[in-house]
Amino acid sequence: MKSQDRAVMRVLSGEKIWPPPIWMMRQAGRYLPEYRQVRAKAKNFLEFCYSPDLATEVTLQPIRRYGFDASILFSDIFVVPDAIGYPVRFEEGRGPVLEPLSRDLIDRLEQEQAEDHLKPVIETVSRLRAELPAETTLLGFCGAPWTVACYSVAGHTTQDQVAARVGAYRDPDLMQRFIDELVTASVRYLIRQLDAGADAVQIFDTWAGVLDEAGFKRWCVEPTKRIVTGVKAERPDAKIIGFPKASSARAMSYIEGTGVDAIGFDWTAPDSLALEIQKRVPIQGNLDPMRLVAGGAALEEGVEHILRTFDKGPLVFNLGHGVTPDADPENVARMVELVKKG
Ligand code: CP3
pLDDT at 179 > cutoff 70: yes
Q: What pLDDT was estimated at residue 92?
A: 81
CATH number at residue 124: 3.20.20.210
What are the pocket residues of ligand 1 if the criterion is a CB atom closer than 6 Å to any ligand atom? 25-30, 39, 45, 72, 74-77, 95-96, 141, 143, 147, 204, 206, 322
In a domain, 125, yes or no: yes
In a domain, 159, yes or no: yes
Residue 81 structural domain: 19-266
Q: Backbone dihedral region of 261: left (phi > 0), alpha (psi from -120 to 50 degrees) or beta?
A: alpha
In a domain, 334, yes or no: no
Q: Is 30 a catalytic residue?
A: yes
In a domain, 313, yes or no: no
Average of pLDDT values for 202-231? Answer: 98
In a domain, 151, yes or no: yes
Is residue 329 a contact partner of residue 28, using CB atoms and an 8 Å limit?
Answer: no
In a domain, 154, yes or no: yes
Q: What pLDDT was estimated at residue 156?
A: 65
Q: Is 177 a catalytic residue?
A: no
CA of 120 to the centre of ligand 1 (A): 18
CB under 8 Å to 105, separation ≥6 — which residues?
Answer: 86, 87, 99
13-61 confidence digits (pLDDT tens): 999 999 999 999 999 999 999 999 999 999 899 999 999 999 999 999 9
pTM of the complete model beyond 0.95: yes
Domains held by the chain: number: 1
Strand ranges for the chain from DSSP E: 70-72, 88-91, 95-98, 137-143, 200-205, 239-244, 262-264, 283-287, 315-319
Separation in Å, CA 201 to CA 139, 144, 314: 5, 12, 17
Residue of 10, 65, 76, 89 marked active site: 76
In a domain, 284, yes or no: no
CB under 8 Å to 271, separation ≥6 — which residues?
Answer: 309
In a domain, 160, yes or no: yes
Measured from the Cβ of residue 48, the count of other Cβ atoms closer than 10 Å reads 19
